[in-house]
């Protein structure tokens, strides 16, 4: 299978597991691979030489919803007991486009706890619109997203937490460099331009588990 697993002890940042699959036997490289064997590793479509844990940048999806819920609480943007109705889609005021929930028919009335437990997209579409992309981006960066963690291993990738300034720079030669409200909506469920590494997500989850205390992930004791 293609994927990655990262586990971090939230009490001290020690990396308990860091797996990138498919992998390869490093003993073969240290003992000396033939040119043909090394070329086979390089040309393998499953990319065993690619460290997905440190360098794989993927849309985080619903994994960021607990962080956005914290943002809503911290910035007084939402009452955790207030219930939002999820009928299976969300619409921006004055627009006809429907941003669909993963659950056809919706979740009904959900408060913050239920929205996290059931991964209700509509709740977080609305929360993202309330927060706005700039406040969302700033809060996500507090948890280390969009930056390297500083782990004691080379090759770590930054990831990306987008905002209007980033888009103006990235799309400076095109006409669509304006940040659209719909891009904020889908950012609320970790889609769009947002990219994170498995290590960054594990680091963010460890920060939540440690109630805001952050430790630099370490492989070496």
pTM metric for this prediction = 0.90
pLDDT at 172: 81
pLDDT at 200: 97
Dist CA 47 CA 197 (whole Å): 16
pLDDT at 173: 77
pLDDT at 209: 96
In the numeric block, the tokens 């797996």 are attached to 19
pLDDT at 71: 98
- What are the residue ranges in the chain where pLDDT is below 70? 175-176
The question of whether 20 is a catalytic residue gets the answer no
pLDDT at 176: 66
Reference 129, options 197, 179, 58, 178; nearest CA is 179
Dist CA 17 CA 219 (whole Å): 9
Per-residue pLDDT reduced to its tens digit, 130-180: 999 999 999 999 999 999 999 999 999 999 999 999 999 998 877 668 999
pLDDT at 22: 94
pLDDT at 35: 86
pLDDT at 24: 86
Catalytic-labelled residue, pool 62, 96, 119, 134 = 62
Instruction: Please give the backbone phi and psi of residue 21, each rounded to the nearest 5 degrees, phi first.
Output: -130, 140
Dist CA 156 CA 151 (whole Å): 8
Dist CA 33 CA 89 (whole Å): 54
pLDDT at 152: 96
């Amino acid at each position: 299978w293609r994927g990655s697993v990262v586990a971090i002890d939230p009490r001290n940042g020690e990396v308990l597991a860091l797996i990138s699959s498919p992998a390869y036997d490093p003993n073969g490289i240290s003992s000396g691979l033939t040119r043909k064997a090394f070329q086979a590793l390089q040309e393998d479509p499953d990319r065993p030489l690619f460290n997905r844990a440190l360098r794989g940048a993927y849309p985080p999806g619903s994994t960021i919803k607990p962080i956005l819920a914290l943002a809503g609480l911290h910035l007084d943007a939402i009452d955790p007991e207030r219930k939002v109705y999820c009928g299976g889609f969300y619409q921006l005021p004055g627009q006809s486009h429907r941003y669909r929930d993963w659950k056809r028919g919706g979740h009904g009335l959900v408060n913050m706890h239920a929205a996290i437990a059931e991964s209700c997209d509509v709740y977080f579409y609305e929360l993202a619109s309330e927060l706005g992309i700039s406040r969302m981006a700033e809060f996500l960066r507090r948890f280390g997203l969009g930056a390297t963690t500083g782990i004691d291993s080379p090759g770590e990738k930054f990831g990306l937490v987008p905002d209007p300034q980033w888009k103006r720079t990235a799309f400076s030669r095109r006409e669509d460099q304006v940040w659209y409200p719909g891009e904020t909506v889908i950012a609320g469920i970790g889609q769009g331009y947002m990219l994170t590494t498995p290590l960054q997500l594990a680091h963010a989850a460890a920060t939540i588990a440690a109630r805001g205390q952050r430790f630099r992930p370490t492989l070496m004791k």
